[in-house]
Structure 1
């Protein structure tokens, strides 16, 4: 786990690599890799790689990057972990391959030397990879199938630059341009920047489950090798009946793979099913003395969303050491500048991940398991119930939706005491993309003229498209309602917000977070239980998966999410500000207040990146 970056002057007329720029970009990611640094320049000065190391597998110098093959033909930089690297290594050794290290990085190199780009689909884990092939004069980029690890790139028509963070690319000093309209518009709509856009114009995310080639001919379009939507449709059409025993075996297999490390692995523990079940499965896999960490807040004491006592009960249930880290408003205010600096792109979330990661590092934990992904895999969100109901109920009313919305917004949803989204229910509720926007959206499209410059907004909406970016979730469309919602939640909310926020917030503390419930192999094995014949599985199957099942008090507890009192803290922060009425009223949802505060910061591009509020 680490931070990677590089420069490839692919066009003959492009200048050679500027080593100082390479180092500036690399060292903007210092927190991602506190255990070491590395850099490599090709003999002709046309390619440069940088690396910041967080040593998890093979802690020796043999695991240092950038890493070259023994014949010097291939050079690699890699961020992430390959959980099946031992099996792949054994397979290669059986064919006569010799290894100089115990690292998963070398396994990638050796596998690529024999199979080329086709080897990417064999890697089980989280990764962002760049491999230079000196023989073919070609660069290969690849990102893991679920989008756990980020990879950002910028091409100026002659040179491509890449890094693990957008801000690191900007810190290099060679990227021009300002705010990307689709990114800012998407942030106000969704609370996060939708891929493949980033907040910086001209910088793109390599989509999850894609690879991309660069050569003297230029930058090829990213090519898909895995699709979450296709995985759900395959599960629907598999004809398999998957019961509790098979689900438990698949979960145990994923957890066992995610424990591969040369350092101890801890666990983020809430009072929910996801993290509790994972702790039980870690115990089943042989993990002992797993340090668990729970956040506590004075504001939550005595309320149903206080997770402290129940999380401690789960830790005792599995015989694991437990620590409660209490966070208050004063610490939030003190850390806020650091949070916004670490936040690679604007997001309304991530504060919780920041503090639990901070707590873990205070305990000396270097790797922690998170229950992220359980709701997307097992249908835990209200969207699995609401979206099918809305699309059926409002589909016939869509032709009248725009009129209804105009009337409602004209007389003011505030005066009627309605949620701002209510005005758009008839217009948007009848389509899957529109219903998802109503479920997950922060601001509605017709509200944004009060938030943004009109030209910026017009360009942003045009680039997002009529479905506001939802279509990126579907290269194919699953047959079932469950499959459609699961594909959207995993490809949009989970990928654009939860995984991205977990990455920047944890890496800011030099912590690796692993997510066993976000695993392509697990999805293939468990998917039929959710959408196949006689599908009945849900969170109950997850709770029953450990040999010692979760106690009923956890299973039957109402869902609260992994939250913080940031809503009340944000209200105080926004009070008295010059925010427009949409975010300054006493009854304004906290997420709107927080979104405006985050977007108003100027740290996203190194220049004035604040949204231009219309007069």
Structure 2
């Protein structure tokens, strides 16, 4: 796992060295730059060693004839098997590094006239890469189709030249970044900024599966097919549970193929716990030490999963490290701005605070950590999928008066989407999809948010649509962003075996109806049940979430003091009347309205982002240098205002 970067400019080597200096946390073990003999381009890599620690495995990789050059961030599943196949086929491989494998495969594709996208589509893994053809003066940039690894591209008009890097902040080195205010509606709707927007003018976050080919200033684009596309239907006699179990086990084994310390995240739920259980089984089979487990602990018993995690680890024989969640306003703020600095854009999932804290501890013990990322999206784990399933089957046919009566009961839940769903505000698939996929709870913002998902919705029933939307948009823009940026801030690579391509294909042939029979994750439960202690499958789903009402109050007080100052800071530019502001704040901090709490949190994060000059790109470096207990300059300034 590495950071990659490149630049097209006459002083590329010195400029690239400065960019890589902003990425050394992603690759602390070795940094190297290759420059084209005529100075057209410089490519660089900061390497985190997870496989093949020898010098021959350092990047950038260059073919023996000097024609092709590659920098690569990620890993390829089953790379040792594929390398052995290439060697038998006559390839001159110098290492056991999966990056060199990709170099040879892409070189063969170009020389054979094959599409780069097709070659990459045959590989399972997580990656972002740059591939330069010295002879043809062509550059390819690509990102894996699931969206696990990032790649930011700066289009340096009017020359048509490019610069690219693994993180947005690195592209700010030596130039002024301008915040893109047009992203606000998308941010409020989703709590993050979906690709290809980055949050900064002139910089693109490649969408998952994107391939860019640059030649003489002209750009052509192609797409790596998502592994869930074009899957073949299976006969009714097909054993879906057995097939999925085999695919997951192989994916876990591939993810464990490392030459460094390996760990697992666990929880009281099913996804990370299932991966951890399978990893322990594989470790015993291979005669390896069991991977240590890590869990986030909360003081609030309603949110704490440490007891369930401890029972699971005792059952599996794993050691368990409990990492305590932030408690004070200052702790929350410090982790938040570190997370925002890592992402490089406004990001309102409060779990980034937890992920930042967790990663800082996990990274002290291991370099690679397995996660359960993707399980909810693949196997139907979110309660809204079950609601959508019921809508498809029953609710859309219920007369409006009966729906409105149910809504009068539902309003006491504090969930805006449930009330609108019940009340009859969802008379068609379009409106139901919008209600359940927009995270904003302030009606005054609905005009701004109107149509935000129009271009994202495809054909199909509501449950299938929600799962596809989350798989294609929310997962790469939300959870995978947190895992990559927070982990790599500490030289830690998170690997999600459930997002192996064969696992995705196996899950994709199972309909939402089958995933959601008997509740949620029905098929996945059958897959992992043999690994768990009695009772674990019955644990209530808690999720990786803080008490947001409590956090809002603590963070607001820490930054601005009294309620009036908080309202002025958070709502001052919204145009909402003061009484409406106060009502939103009261509901958000009451602990009874989760949607309003998320909306107000998003507004607060937006304000903090502006306050710390987010696009400037120095937040992460600043927070690393801050001594314990020392307030940041921005907080001091806020205190004095």
Question: Which residue of structure 2 aligns with residue 586 of structure 1?
Answer: 586
Question: Which residue of structure 2 aligns with residue 606 of structure 1?
Answer: 616
Question: Which residue of structure 2 aligns with residue 151 of structure 1?
Answer: 151
Are 1:185 and 2:185 an aligned pair? yes
Question: Which residue of structure 2 aligns with residue 503 of structure 1?
Answer: 484
Question: Which residue of structure 2 aligns with residue 345 of structure 1?
Answer: 345
Question: Which residue of structure 2 aligns with residue 132 of structure 1?
Answer: 132
Distance 1:218 1:473, change over 3 A: farther
Question: Which residue of structure 2 aligns with residue 213 of structure 1?
Answer: 213
Between 1:95-104 and 1:345-354, the stretch displaced more is: 345-354
Cα offset, 1:217, TM superposition: 4.9
Question: Which residue of structure 2 aligns with residue 227 of structure 1?
Answer: 226
Distance 1:40 1:132, change over 3 A: same
Question: Which residue of structure 1 aligns with residue 275 of structure 2?
Answer: 278
Distance 1:534 1:189, change over 3 A: closer
Aligned equivalents of 1:2, 1:515: Cα separation in 2: 17
Aligned equivalents of 1:501, 1:585: Cα separation in 2: 27
3-state SS, counterpart of residue 587 of structure 1:
helix
Between 1:344-353 and 1:254-263, the stretch displaced more is: 344-353
Equivalent residue in structure 1 for 2:533, among 538, 542, 551: 551
Equivalent residues in 2 for 1:6-405 (5 A)?
6-8=6-8, 16-116=10-110, 117=116, 118-155=118-155, 156-157=157-158, 158-173=160-175, 177-181=178-182, 183-220=183-220, 222-227=221-226, 230-231=229-230, 234=231, 241-286=238-283, 287-298=288-299, 300-301=300-301, 303=302, 305-330=303-328, 331-349=331-349, 350-362=352-364, 364-390=365-391
Aligned equivalents of 1:17, 1:423: Cα separation in 2: 59
Aligned equivalents of 2:373, 2:597: Cα separation in 1: 23
8 A Cα contact 1:265 1:368, kept in partner: yes
Aligned equivalents of 2:427, 2:81: Cα separation in 1: 48
Are 1:569 and 2:569 an aligned pair? no
Aligned equivalents of 1:199, 1:269: Cα separation in 2: 32
8 A Cα contact 1:2 1:32, kept in partner: yes
Cα offset, 1:262, TM superposition: 0.8
Equivalent residues in 2 for 1:520-531 (5 A)?
520-530=501-511
8 A Cα contact 2:168 2:343, kept in partner: no
Between 1:222-231 and 1:367-376, the stretch displaced more is: 222-231
Distance 1:534 1:446, change over 3 A: closer
Distance 1:533 1:343, change over 3 A: closer
Cα offset, 1:229, TM superposition: 5.9
Between 1:520-529 and 1:234-243, the stretch displaced more is: 234-243
Question: Which residue of structure 2 aligns with residue 441 of structure 1?
Answer: 438
3-state SS, counterpart of residue 251 of structure 1:
helix
RMSD of equivalent CA atoms: 3.3
8 A Cα contact 2:585 2:600, kept in partner: no
Deviations 1:310-361 (A, max 9, x none): 1011111111111112233133344344333223222122122112211212
Equivalent residue in structure 2 for 1:468, among 452, 475, 479: 452
Between 1:62-71 and 1:17-26, the stretch displaced more is: 17-26
Aligned equivalents of 1:237, 1:52: Cα separation in 2: 44
Aligned equivalents of 1:532, 1:328: Cα separation in 2: 39
Between 1:237-246 and 1:337-346, the stretch displaced more is: 237-246
Aligned equivalents of 1:441, 1:582: Cα separation in 2: 20
Distance 1:205 1:427, change over 3 A: farther
Deviations 1:429-472 (A, max 9, x none): 345454344224232585338xxxxxxx96xx6xxxx6414634
Distance 1:24 1:445, change over 3 A: farther
Cα offset, 1:59, TM superposition: 1.4
Distance 1:273 1:535, change over 3 A: closer
Q: How many residues align?
A: 567
Aligned equivalents of 1:352, 1:219: Cα separation in 2: 39
Cα offset, 1:82, TM superposition: 0.8
Distance 1:24 1:428, change over 3 A: farther
Deviations 1:447-501 (A, max 9, x none): 338xxxxxxx96xx6xxxx641463464xx4x55543222111112211111111
TM-score (normalised: structure 1): 0.84
Aligned equivalents of 2:137, 2:433: Cα separation in 1: 44
Cα offset, 1:570, TM superposition: 2.1
- Mark the runs of 5 or more structure 2 residues left unpaired by the alignment: 111-115, 558-562, 572-579, 589-595, 620-633, 635-641
8 A Cα contact 1:284 1:546, kept in partner: no
Aligned equivalents of 1:84, 1:92: Cα separation in 2: 13
TM-score (normalised: structure 2): 0.81
3-state SS, counterpart of residue 471 of structure 1:
coil
Q: Highest relative contact order (Cα 8 Å, sep 6+), 1 or 2? A: 1
